[in-house]
Structure 1
């Protein structure tokens, strides 16, 4: 199989048959001749042709060979690289007639991502540009990194995960007395800082919002919180309010009445966070002495029972008044000077 022979002088005594293999095959036992002997038989070990073997090819650094068709004559070895490496040179070698792998043995070299991109307001330092190397990004003062600060050159020769950006960073806005702020999305470009005042305070200039601009500055009139003012409390009929602590938020106004008048509800109102005086506002009402006391053997007529009103006493016939005939309701809710009596007359 896979060979042929040549006869030296036919097939008679002492003739030789010399075997040779076809291309890609070789004699298996090294013997190529048979001799015709006296017994009319070919003497010697029957030659055989076997396919030439190249064996395993040499290793490929950072790669390997795919030997799907074997390692014999005519087989092709296709080199492949591990992830992150690529072939430089011919990828295929072939087992030749000499039992050698023939072709340009390639190298697997790391893929190259090129220099990491420089972006505005940013510094980048890298350990290299090929597979597995890293690039570190940092922003200049006044800017904040949005995205990853560390990129890696991947097997597809791309920097991953993605290139970051440096955006203006205004830093924390100014704290204000008696207030606080809320940030919409941090302290970077176009972010807003909205101020609010604590209970009892209000924005002095009605501006509540600052915006971070491209120059890393908070733009807008700086908000301020001022204490809420209620102003003067309302008038109290027949009385007035005492303002010992002023008219601002939390202040208490205490009502007092003129002589002869009194408060029938709470005497205090408070300046609230709505700028109004809160509480039950009542007027000062005159004190009430009640009905003037009736006396024995007499009667009384009054103009009223509250402060300032009077009562007049009379005695029936045969009796005379002992004491004042006119009494008055005073500021202490008493009839003054005192209630008289009727005494009998004797003839």
Structure 2
């Protein structure tokens, strides 16, 4: 008798009579698991006179699912087409994928359906109150790459982006703008300074105002402010402070000043320190002349 036929990786054996033990001269036949294909000269082995088995001459190799399917205006990427492999589908520029973007090689072949690539379009744009919403060329479709330009009626200002682009995802790259009446109050005056541009009305959306300080004064803040959609100026108007001089910065032990020396230091002038070789800096390496005529923060130190 023969017992325990050799195991076949990714396969099973069976005996026509299902009797055990198996008699001398009987054969067992091997079958590959689903998804595998048998390769070899024989699918069976025989129980020999010495109660041993003849050589096993079959291998079970993963089946190939073949081509996962070609798509018009698209392509797929994958390293293999055997059992368990995955391919991913892509569309050429200007097209968008409809359907699942991948397929898996299973025991029954490629799963799912072949996706398709459709010419990319974006939805029509909603109308905006007090403005003009653009229509697609020839009243057909907004295709990928097209630009839609909005505009507002005379007394209204366009808030947001005027140009929207239809992207490869089939979505517009920005939200549509709005049209709003925007007019700021006359720009505020500042002490020890004056408005040099933008002082005449009307003070409409995004109209800028530029300030300058009187002689002997230094500006703190932005010299230009702008009328924004909330009818206020952004940022706040600057201040003009009396010009100040900072004292010569102190030297530091085991370090030195990198920046070129000056006879006087004005508001917002900066000093940069560095340490000698073998030392590390403790503190900030840059200090600045402030409106009170002092360098801030404190000069750093150099530690061995």
TM-score by length of 2: 0.42
Using CA pairs under 8 Å that are at least 6 residues apart, name the structure with larger relative contact order, 1 or 2: 2
TM-score normalised over the length of structure 1: 0.38
Structure whose CA Rg is larger: 1
